[in-house]
C-alpha cells in the first residue's frame, strides 16, 4: 500500500512540473536560416460599450535571436487614436516575485494599419517586435507576470495580467500571467 501511495504521489508531482506542449505557427530550418514562432496568444482583452481591444503575444526565434511579437487590435465604430511604436518604445513586465523585466522595441516606426470591416467598425492593428535583455529568461521562466506597461511614442498604457482569462472573442481559457513560464521553453532551451 505504501508503494502505491508513493507511486501515485510521484506521478502527480511529475504532472505538476511537466512543461506544456508547444503550439507553433512556424518551424523552419533551411539554407537561409532558422525561424520558429509560437501561435498568437491572448494576454489581454477589453470589451465595453461597443469598443474592443485585444492584446496578443507570440514568441519568435530567428537565427538564434529570441523576440516577443506584440499585436494590438482595437475595434470601434468611433475614431480610434493610434498608438505608435518607435526605437524608444519599451515593455516593462512586473513579475510576481517583484522583479521588473524590460524589453526594447526594434528600431522601426509603426503606427498600425487601419482597416474598416464589413460591419462598419474601424480597426487598428499594431504589431511590434521587442528584444529581450540579457539574463532575463530565468526570471521569466520562474515567476508569473502580474503587470505590464507599454511605452508608446506619445503615451504609456498599463495592463493587469490575470491568472485566468476566458476570452469573449473565442471562448477559450488563457493564462496570461503564466505565458512566459508556459511558452519560453518552446524557443529557448
Which of 16-20, 95-99, 135-139, 161-165 bottoms out in mean pLDDT, i.e. has the lowest? 16-20
pTM of the model: 0.86
**33 occurs within a structural domain:** yes
50 — pLDDT class (breaks 50, 70, 90): confident
189 — pLDDT class (breaks 50, 70, 90): confident
18 — pLDDT class (breaks 50, 70, 90): low
Mean pLDDT over the full length of the chain: 89
Domain count, the chain: 1
**2 occurs within a structural domain:** no
pLDDT of residue 87: 94
**15 occurs within a structural domain:** no
Who has greater pLDDT, 169 or 179? 179
Cell for 43?
494576454
**137 occurs within a structural domain:** yes
pLDDT of residue 19: 65
Is 167 strand, coil or helix?
Answer: coil
pLDDT of residue 21: 87
Mean per-residue pLDDT for 51-61? 96
Tell me which residue range forms the domain holding 70: 23-186
Contact assessment for residue 103 and residue 132, using Cβ atoms and an 8 Å cutoff: yes
Amino acid at each position: 500500500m505504501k508503494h502505491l501511495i508513493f507511486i501515485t504521489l510521484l506521478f502527480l508531482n511529475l504532472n505538476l512540473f511537466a512543461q506544456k506542449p508547444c503550439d507553433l505557427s512556424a518551424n523552419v530550418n533551411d539554407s537561409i536560416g532558422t525561424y520558429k514562432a509560437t501561435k498568437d496568444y491572448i494576454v489581454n482583452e477589453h470589451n465595453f460599450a461597443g469598443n474592443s481591444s485585444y492584446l496578443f503575444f507570440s514568441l519568435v526565434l530567428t537565427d538564434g535571436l529570441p523576440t516577443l511579437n506584440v499585436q494590438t487590435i482595437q475595434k470601434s465604430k468611433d475614431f480610434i487614436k493610434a498608438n505608435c511604436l518607435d526605437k524608444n518604445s519599451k515593455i516593462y513586465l512586473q513579475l510576481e516575485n517583484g522583479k521588473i523585466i524590460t524589453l526594447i522595441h526594434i528600431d522601426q516606426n509603426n503606427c498600425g494599419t487601419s482597416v474598416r470591416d464589413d460591419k462598419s467598425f474601424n480597426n487598428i492593428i499594431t504589431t511590434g517586435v521587442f528584444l529581450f535583455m540579457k539574463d532575463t529568461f530565468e526570471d521569466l521562466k520562474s515567476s508569473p507576470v502580474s503587470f505590464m506597461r507599454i511605452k508608446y511614442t506619445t503615451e504609456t498604457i498599463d495592463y493587469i495580467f490575470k491568472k485566468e482569462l476566458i476570452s469573449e472573442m473565442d471562448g477559450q481559457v488563457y493564462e496570461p500571467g503564466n505565458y512566459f513560464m508556459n511558452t519560453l521553453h518552446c524557443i529557448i532551451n
